[in-house]
Amino acid sequence: MGMYAERLLPRIVNLACGRSEFAPLRRRACAGLAGDVVEIGFGAGHNVPFYPAEVARVWAVEPAAKAWQLAAERVRASTVPVELAAPDGQQLPFAEDCFDAALSFFTLCTIPDPGAALAELHRVLKPGGTLHFVEHGLAPDESVRRWQRRLEPVQKIVMGGCHFTRPTVELIGDAGFVVTELDVFYQPNAPKFDAALSVGVARVS
């Protein structure tokens, strides 16, 4: 990883993902989390203030050391214990069936192999465990998809591998999850190619 990926990109992502308009989505994603939770793509910890009291502990999975540094103040202020557990969501260092829930917020668009990461989440979640997700990805409208395909090469360079065209819900289903709640929409006041969101909950059957 070069200096841009190691030091500058986490700061850019911190600013981009820390915008106030994402707060309702974070609150929605965290609602219903309880027990032991693993969060992939922890970033700078913007979800931390929204963890409900029912969460016992969060294991944070984050590859960027700078992002973890940026999260330090939020982690210290958290009423829920948070510990950095692993750098790679595609190879989780946990036993099978050990988590009650998982959280993914704007992560599956960027992680190199989302299928591997989802398979790992499915493995470490207990039977009946839930994956709470907010992701942007492939738009529902072909006219928007054309723009996504055109702009994705630039997006991948600027935002460290982020894709516009990943079919999030399909990937979750392919990993063995059953999607029990789903809302697909465009985030208001944003260009549609970057604002096609899938928000939901999926369960391990």
This prediction's pTM: 0.93
With bands split at pLDDT 50, 70 and 90, how would you rate the model's confidence at 3? low
Residue 125: Cβ within 10 Å count? 25
Cα R_g (the chain), whole angstroms? 16
Fold of 3-204: Rossmann fold (3.40.50)
Structure tokens at 82: 């948070």
Q: With the C-alpha atoms ordered 16, 119, 149, 63, is the resulting torsion angle positive or negative?
A: positive
For residue 174, is pLDDT > 80? Answer: yes
55 near 35, Cβ under 8 Å? yes
Q: What is the DSSP letter of 63?
A: S
Residue 123: Cβ within 10 Å count? 17
At residue 129's C-alpha, the angle toward residues 48 and 71, to 5°, is 15
End-to-end CA distance of the chain: 38
In the predicted model, what is the mean pLDDT of residues 189-202?
A: 96
126: closest CA among 105, 154, 98, 104?
98
Mean per-residue pLDDT over the chain, rounded: 93
Q: What region does 189 belong to: left with phi over 0, alpha with psi -120 to 50, or beta?
A: left
In the predicted model, what is the mean pLDDT of residues 6-17?
A: 75
